[in-house]
């Protein structure tokens, strides 16, 4: 487990009634300490049990998503970097569904804020974004809080099967159409022709 996470667990065990608030705040701070969200959700299950761990993880993830919603517009360079990663991984015209984002959140190595950006493209208003954030974070918080102990005991073969199944589910839940602007379509067509 991550050293920062172990330190956090030790601190929270001694804080008593403040532990849930510190845990929720730690969800916001974890990205600066490079702690994966999956490990933090597992720690919530260890500290608070399945139900309360899921509730506190959801509160922290929704707070983090709200901060992302208000801050990303004020950070154009970060927004541009995330868009560049999105274009590289998913293509320029791909708009992911909420179901796809929920599935990708379950795969530990996907960038959390990249998926927030994909959700923001799908639901640009705050209320829709928070509803979508709730829907996509709930499986993540529940799955890793409740089953965190068992996941660490999986063999590599079972882990590959689970990730393969999630990727298949991601493909099945995709949006079946893509809308391309006239200018972009013809600009790409003209770039492909060789001038004689």
Give the CA distances from residue 24 to residues 46, 60, 78, 112, 196, in Å, rounded to whole numbers and listed in that order.
15, 4, 24, 16, 63
Q: How much is the pLDDT for 14?
A: 67
145 close to 53: Cβ distance less than 8 angstroms: yes
pLDDT at 196: 47
| pLDDT tens digits, 179-190 | 666 676 666 555
Taking only the tens place, the pLDDT of each residue in 55-75 is 999 999 999 999 999 998 899
Q: Half-sphere exposure of residue 128, counting CA atoms within 13 Å on the CB side?
A: 10
Per-residue confidence (pLDDT) for residue 153, from 0 to 100: 65
What pLDDT, on a 0 to 100 scale, did the predictor assign at position 179? 62
**102-108-112 Cα angle (round to 5):** 60
Global model pTM greater than 0.75? no
């Amino acid at each position: 487990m991550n050293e920062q996470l172990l330190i956090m667990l030790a601190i929270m065990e001694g804080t008593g009634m403040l532990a849930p608030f510190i845990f929720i705040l730690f969800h916001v701070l974890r990205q600066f300490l490079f702690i994966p969200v999956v490990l933090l959700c597992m720690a919530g299950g260890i500290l608070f049990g399945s139900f309360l761990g899921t509730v506190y993880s959801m509160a922290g993830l929704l707070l983090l998503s709200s901060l992302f919603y208000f801050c990303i517009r004020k950070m154009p360079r970060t927004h541009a970097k995330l868009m560049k990663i999105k274009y590289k991984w998913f293509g320029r015209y791909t708009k992911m569904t909420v179901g796809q984002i929920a599935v990708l959140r379950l795969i530990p190595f996907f960038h959390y804020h990249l998926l927030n950006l994909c959700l923001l493209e799908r639901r640009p208003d705050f209320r829709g974004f928070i509803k979508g954030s709730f829907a996509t974070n709930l499986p993540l918080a529940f799955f890793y809080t409740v089953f965190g102990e068992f996941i660490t005991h999986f063999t590599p073969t079972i882990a590959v099967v689970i990730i393969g199944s999630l990727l298949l589910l991601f493909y099945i839940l995709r949006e079946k159409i893509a809308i391309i602007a006239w200018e972009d379509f013809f600009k790409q067509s003209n770039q492909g022709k060789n001038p004689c």
